[in-house]
Structure 1
Amino acid sequence: MILNNREQLLLQLLLEQTEFRPASFFQKQLNVSQKTVYNNLTTLEKKLKDSGLAIKKVPRKGIFLSGSESAKQNGYRLLAKKETKLELFSPNYRKIFIFANYLFSVKPMHYQEFSEYFYISNQSIKKDVDEIVAFCRFHQVSTKMTTSGLKLTSVESAAQNVFKSFLEKYTDAKASENLLVNNLFDSKVLDLTKKFVSDMTQTIGHPVNNYSIESLKLSLRIFLSRLLIDKHIEKQEQLVFDELRRMKFYMIAVDFSEMIQQQLPVQFSDTDIQYVCSLLLAHGIEPFGQMDEPHESTITNCTKQIIQKMSHMLNADLTQDKLLLQTLLAHIVPMIHRSKTGILLKNPLIKSIKKQYSTMYTLTKYAIGDLEERFQILLTEDEVSFLTIHFQLAFEKIKITNHILIVCQSGFATSELIFNRIKQTIAADTVLEIIPLSKLASTSLEAVDLIISTIPLDITAPPVIYISPLPTTEEIGRISAKISNLNENEKNFYSKKYQKTTLLQKYLDPTFLFVKNKFRTKKDVLDFLADDYLKKKLVTTKFKHSLFEREELGSTGLKTGVAIPHADPHTVKETKLAFLTLDAPITWGDTKIQLIVLLAIAEENMIEAKELIASIYGLFNSAEEIQWIVNSQTQEELYQRLLRGGN
């Protein structure tokens, strides 16, 4: 099931509400008429029919979305499904068409011609152009409206990159195969780029992921379409070009230029050939045999340092994983080049990665700080999410040892019987230990993952499975399933031992809790918190800049209604958490936020980062839990609710 943009916004508003709201509330939020609200509710209701969610409309009371917690979680998953289907006369395709016409035509169409083509008013066309201009401005690309249409006045590579970003905003990862998108390009350009990329990927000697292939084809098509109207790439840094020559890309680019010049009325300049080399490197295309050559030592050393830092934070040795080093190097070399040249590679799974592997994603952002500083780059959230997957896969390969206690009152023989039956069905790396009930109270359970008992126990953690003195096959199966779940939870940082409030309490200070504030913008919130930390001498003067810089690369707001901004650990003198609630939700990226958690972790405390971050994410699993925190009326109430954790 795919929802359109309006339906997604409406569903998000419904999911965020904890009580009935009048239609006027949704009218104001969506900036539409009440009639449109009711029409959208009707279509949304049909699409949610089998989802377990129901839209209740009660006269004089309002509108409310009912359903179980799991159904609402599935509702949030629907928000991640972006409507990427383009239709010929849809507003999305119209904007892409207008932008492409300005970019690829010698004589672009005028407003009236666009209007007649799409059967809409000149005013609607003007709004589309205004959106294109705003998008370019946001990406630091300047524009100018002339008598012959919209002109992009920034350097040529920036103009091509911003159009690609605009195109990817409204299409899926396979934009290069979309028929309507392909209509924007000359048919020869389509055929030549498809053949070139296909032939090259078959001869380079190693696989290339589909995202990179689709992205490369799209970049080449945009480049050639501009070349057809005599738009050439600006001069690049000589240092980059020397590196590309050394990596044997040059002859591939020259062969490509000669093939294109035979088929199309274009001429390649030296900077155009250089740009083709740059695109190949940025998309991870390396000539045959090149993968076995040693990478530049500085990059290798930086990569090893990242692995060491992640090992330290995860409390797991990843340094012996040679495959991890190789795959990271294969990704980081083109990644650095992409970051330096402004070439974008979108990760279509980014929302899922940030949600499912939120702790690993945050740790990865902390680990890459030295690499960013060394190469003077800032990695986008797409790049960070690619790196996150490498570390998650490496972490999941590490065997986890579970420690299980068997408590039995019936005697040693019964305990041994239970021990032997369980041992036959579990992995060899699970440690089983028998303990008498008399010694349980004096035994530390900190390292224990599970207790199996034949008698009632007065403990809350770790989890306890109760079985009979002579366990049945079903009971043994239940134990095996529980141990399997322990392994899965550990690898995803959901284990209870990572959600204890002891570590949270260590860095939680009531003076850093701010209740029911009236800030109306993200900037106001970050300014207030950063200035407060600086005034209390917890951070350096670079902290605020780092905070805003990180936020620009990708919003830290989560769909559940909480934002977790953070800065480079090098700018933090003393680890401290701040929790700030708002009297009303504000826009934070593409979501609404009413709770902000400022995560300031100093370098010396990075070993505790995993547990601390997992504890914070563990507190906020749903919109209901966040609303419970937000409803705190006083500083003390907020403090106690954070320590209690969960509604």
Structure 2
Amino acid sequence: MNLTDRQINMINMLLKEKRHRAVKYYADRLNVSDRTVYSDLEKIGIVAEKLGFQIERKKGVGIKATSLAEKRETKSIDELTPTAMYGVKERRIKIFELLLFGGKTITYQNLADTFFVSKSSIHSDLINIREYYLSSSSVELISDSQGTRLHGTEEQFQNTFVQFNELIKEHDMKLDVLVSEEEKEYSSLVKYYGKELVERCQDAVYDFVTNNLETIAEYYINSILNRLIILVYRSSHGHHMEGHVPGLELTESNILLNKLATSMDIYFSHGDVAYLNKHMEAYKMKERKDEEDYTPIIEIILNKLSNMIEVDFTKDQQLKQQLAKHFPSMIYRLRNNISTENPFLMQIKHEFGLMYNITWFIMSSLEEELRVLFTDKEIGFITIYFQSTLDRMQMSKRVLIVCPTGITTSGLLYNRVNRILPPLVMIEVASFDKLKTMNLRKFDFIISTAHIRVEDIPIVVVSPLLNDEDMQKVSNFYNSTFILKEKNDIEEVQHGLIKMKKYIDFRFVEFGCDYDTSEDWINDVTDKLVAENFVDEGFKASLLEREKAGGTDLPTGVAVPHGNPQHVKKTVMAVYVNKKSIKWNDGNIRVAIFLCIAKDDMNYVREILGGVYNLVENKEVVQKLFIDSHMQTFTKLLGGDNFD
């Protein structure tokens, strides 16, 4: 009997718990009902004895896993679970591990016998590994009459180990509740590379950082540590980088490797030193020389962003300096197929989805000129710079205090207002006479000691001495207008529908679709778009590359796939609603809105994306507008019928 991923997770939880826990405890952590937990416990009970434990139930107390052997040390699920008990994802990770760490040719029959599944299941597993676990910079998965194996250069192998590490880290993060505090001290890499090797690499990297660098981001440290662990592991097994680059004898990379070579008795080739040196440059642990001047391209990016957002980013010197500092290492990483960690990526996608996708459109339009292919992680970093700048601009409000000519009174007003408004708010003071000659449109609101008439600018009238009641009045106005401004969901939806209508072609709107996989869905829709001459043949490849670099699925059950604008002939939006949910990257999706935006329409990206996000950010709106709807209703809504 094959256990599901959830049931394996539950076994891990049971084995880690030292005391009885209520069923609800497990239900909450697995995000399922109590009834589902009871059902899973029945199935786990069938195989528990084979795994060396039993489930003990105490009425009114809860359940607990106890070892069948006295004084037996509880083992991990990897040690206890027979290969027949792996879930589908665990089996694929295990097959990937066997191919990568074993380095041998394996037949379909060997794998089928090992995991007690059919050869057709193994075939599906290998297709999945090839499509989702490997990339253009990794090794090639070859299956022929001799068997299945990985093939590539040593650099491609080490890139593949990086991808494997990211895979197991992501998988283990989902099981974080299962890991004891003692095990959390070490990464999930220990069981693959060995405790001594991982600890020695950690010590070497942190010693280097402490002694040679003033400041460096933690994610850069983690990235170089990941590469170093893999390099040391491969070198210890006799695998080395090729090549000889003069002048590397005294580099920072040699300092690290010399220490490890001495302490672990491992030989490192000149190619190994050059390889680590390249990555230390990429992760800002070594100063790069002969860097290109990216000022012109940054100006182009900020102009594009300003036009899309309708906010002027071109005069923000702080943003320009940040990008100028970030770009050289980023471009170097992308041109050398060097990945980096971005621990904020999921949060960025969820909280700043609109800015993230606008950033992706802007940067993808410059890929050819920059000779790179952007990844979701790098787009995430740039999004942070843009979003923080936008937040800073929106917080920086301009306030005009209007009062009589008395200097004492105006000074009192200024000081009191300055105490209750945020530090970034800029305050100016003007007399009634001066008011007539001022450009008032640059102010966000006015505080006045008398009733005055000014068009289109909010005015808060206060007493000349600004008493406590007046101060509360000013504070409440600022918060309600600029900080706590609430959205009207119905208005947002109507606005989104209006924006969407301009770009909808009903040849590409379908409800009640019957797709089984995201691949079928993408292939069918993009083929239709090519056939109707809206996109060229390269659009599908660019869309698939975008999905592989970072999925476009949202937590609301909607995917918003889009390809590179250079492959779009005419801007169009395609809406497809499936009968059932299907797996789309990390999410389960029933609605896919394909965005095809031509280069000539790049200035409308914000309008298009903003309209779409108004419709898909709220799960209830998605349910009502798409899931519980049909073609006729959707058509009426686009025609102007009310959404309520």
With the shorter chain as reference, the TM-score category is 0.5 to 0.7
Which residue matches 2:557? 561
Instruction: Give the whole-Å Cα distance in 2 for the aligned partners of 1:642 and 1:265.
Output: 74
1:544 aligns with 2:550: no
Amino acid across the alignment from 1:170: I
1:315 Cα shift? Answer: 1.9
Instruction: Give the whole-Å Cα distance in 1 for the aligned partners of 2:544 and 2:93.
Output: 30
> Are 1:249 and 1:280, in contact at CA under 8 Å, matched by a contact in 2?
no
1:563 Cα shift? Answer: 1.1
Question: Which residue, out of 129, 135, 138, partners 1:135?
Answer: 129
Mapping of 1:248-267 within 5 angstroms? Answer: 251-267=251-267
Mapping of 1:299-314 within 5 angstroms? Answer: 299-314=294-309
> Are 1:133 and 1:143, in contact at CA under 8 Å, matched by a contact in 2?
no
Which residue matches 2:435? none
Which residue matches 1:34? none
Question: Which residue, out of 47, 65, 79, partners 2:28?
Answer: 47
Compared CA separation, residues 135 and 530, structure 1 to 2 (3 A)? closer
Which residue matches 1:479? 477
Mapping of 1:591-606 within 5 angstroms? Answer: 591-606=587-602
SS in 2 for 1:584: strand
Mapping of 1:47-446 within 5 angstroms? Answer: 47=28, 89=79, 123=116, 135=129, 138=132, 139-140=134-135, 141-143=139-141, 152-171=150-169, 178=186, 181-186=189-194, 189-235=197-243, 251-287=251-287, 295-297=291-293, 299-399=294-394, 427=425, 428=427, 429-432=443-446
Which residue matches 2:509? 514
Question: Which residue, out of 621, 629, 634, partners 2:631?
Answer: 634
Compared CA separation, residues 106 and 177, structure 1 to 2 (3 A)? farther
Amino acid across the alignment from 1:373: E
1:231 Cα shift? Answer: 0.6
Instruction: Give the whole-Å Cα distance in 1 for the aligned partners of 2:254 and 2:168.
Output: 33
SS in 1 for 2:285: coil
Amino acid across the alignment from 1:165: Q
> Are 1:547 and 1:565, in contact at CA under 8 Å, matched by a contact in 2?
yes
> Are 1:561 and 1:592, in contact at CA under 8 Å, matched by a contact in 2?
yes
1:617 Cα shift? Answer: 0.7
Q: Provide Cα deviations, 1:424-457, integer angstroms capped at 9, x if missing partner.
A: 86654532499xxxx99xx9x8xx8x8999xxxx
Compared CA separation, residues 183 and 592, structure 1 to 2 (3 A)? closer
Amino acid across the alignment from 2:256: F
Runs of at least 5 residues in structure 2 that lack an aligned partner in the other structure: 11-21, 37-75, 174-182, 400-412, 428-442, 462-467
> Are 1:143 and 1:154, in contact at CA under 8 Å, matched by a contact in 2?
no
> Are 1:249 and 1:286, in contact at CA under 8 Å, matched by a contact in 2?
no
1:504 Cα shift? Answer: 0.4
Instruction: Give the whole-Å Cα distance in 1 for the aligned partners of 2:290 and 2:316.
Output: 17
Deviates more, 1:313-322 or 1:553-562: 313-322
1:579 Cα shift? Answer: 1.9
> Are 1:176 and 1:218, in contact at CA under 8 Å, matched by a contact in 2?
no
Amino acid across the alignment from 1:622: N
Instruction: Give the whole-Å Cα distance in 2 for the aligned partners of 1:602 and 1:616.
Output: 17
Q: Provide Cα deviations, 1:292-340, integer angstroms capped at 9, x if missing partner.
A: x77312x443333223322222222223333333433443333333333
| TM-score (structure 2 length as normaliser) | 0.66
1:256 Cα shift? Answer: 3.4
Instruction: Give the whole-Å Cα distance in 1 for the aligned partners of 2:471 and 2:547.
Output: 53
Amino acid across the alignment from 1:285: M
Instruction: Give the whole-Å Cα distance in 2 for the aligned partners of 1:150 and 1:505.
Output: 48
> Are 1:347 and 1:385, in contact at CA under 8 Å, matched by a contact in 2?
yes
Which residue matches 1:80? none
| TM-score (structure 1 length as normaliser) | 0.66
**Bigger radius of gyration:** 2
> Are 2:460 and 2:474, in contact at CA under 8 Å, matched by a contact in 1?
no
Deviates more, 1:303-312 or 1:380-389: 303-312
SS in 1 for 2:511: strand
Instruction: Give the whole-Å Cα distance in 1 for the aligned partners of 2:143 and 2:600.
Output: 53
Instruction: Give the whole-Å Cα distance in 1 for the aligned partners of 2:529 and 2:126.
Output: 38
Instruction: Give the whole-Å Cα distance in 1 for the aligned partners of 2:638 and 2:459.
Output: 28
Deviates more, 1:97-106 or 1:278-287: 97-106
> Are 1:543 and 1:571, in contact at CA under 8 Å, matched by a contact in 2?
yes
SS in 2 for 1:595: strand
Instruction: Give the whole-Å Cα distance in 2 for the aligned partners of 1:281 and 1:495.
Output: 51
1:598 Cα shift? Answer: 1.8
Compared CA separation, residues 306 and 477, structure 1 to 2 (3 A)? closer
Compared CA separation, residues 401 and 608, structure 1 to 2 (3 A)? farther
Instruction: Give the whole-Å Cα distance in 1 for the aligned partners of 2:104 and 2:150.
Output: 15
1:283 Cα shift? Answer: 2.1
Compared CA separation, residues 203 and 562, structure 1 to 2 (3 A)? same
Instruction: Give the whole-Å Cα distance in 1 for the aligned partners of 2:149 and 2:496.
Output: 56
1:494 Cα shift? Answer: 10
1:575 aligns with 2:546: no
SS in 1 for 2:251: helix
Instruction: Give the whole-Å Cα distance in 2 for the aligned partners of 1:133 and 1:226.
Output: 26
1:48 Cα shift? Answer: 6.8
SS in 2 for 1:583: strand
Amino acid across the alignment from 1:388: T
Instruction: Give the whole-Å Cα distance in 2 for the aligned partners of 1:123 and 1:129.
Output: 14
Compared CA separation, residues 94 and 134, structure 1 to 2 (3 A)? closer
1:160 Cα shift? Answer: 2.2
Instruction: Give the whole-Å Cα distance in 1 for the aligned partners of 2:187 and 2:398.
Output: 56
Compared CA separation, residues 55 and 210, structure 1 to 2 (3 A)? same
Compared CA separation, residues 312 and 6, structure 1 to 2 (3 A)? same
Runs of at least 5 residues in structure 1 that lack an aligned partner in the other structure: 11-40, 58-85, 115-119, 405-418, 454-469
> Are 1:499 and 1:615, in contact at CA under 8 Å, matched by a contact in 2?
no
> Are 1:508 and 1:576, in contact at CA under 8 Å, matched by a contact in 2?
yes
Which residue matches 2:495? 500
1:640 Cα shift? Answer: 0.6
Instruction: Give the whole-Å Cα distance in 2 for the aligned partners of 1:498 and 1:628.
Output: 11
Instruction: Give the whole-Å Cα distance in 1 for the aligned partners of 2:309 and 2:500.
Output: 20
> Are 2:552 and 2:560, in contact at CA under 8 Å, matched by a contact in 1?
yes
Compared CA separation, residues 610 and 9, structure 1 to 2 (3 A)? farther
SS in 1 for 2:561: coil
Amino acid across the alignment from 2:129: F
> Are 1:570 and 1:603, in contact at CA under 8 Å, matched by a contact in 2?
yes
Deviates more, 1:225-234 or 1:196-205: 196-205
Q: Provide Cα deviations, 1:129-148, integer angstroms capped at 9, x if missing partner.
A: 996895366405335799xx
Root-mean-square deviation (CA, aligned residues, Å) is 5.2
> Are 1:542 and 1:571, in contact at CA under 8 Å, matched by a contact in 2?
yes
Which residue matches 2:73? none
SS in 2 for 1:368: helix
Q: Provide Cα deviations, 1:380-403, integer angstroms capped at 9, x if missing partner.
A: 212211221121112222146879
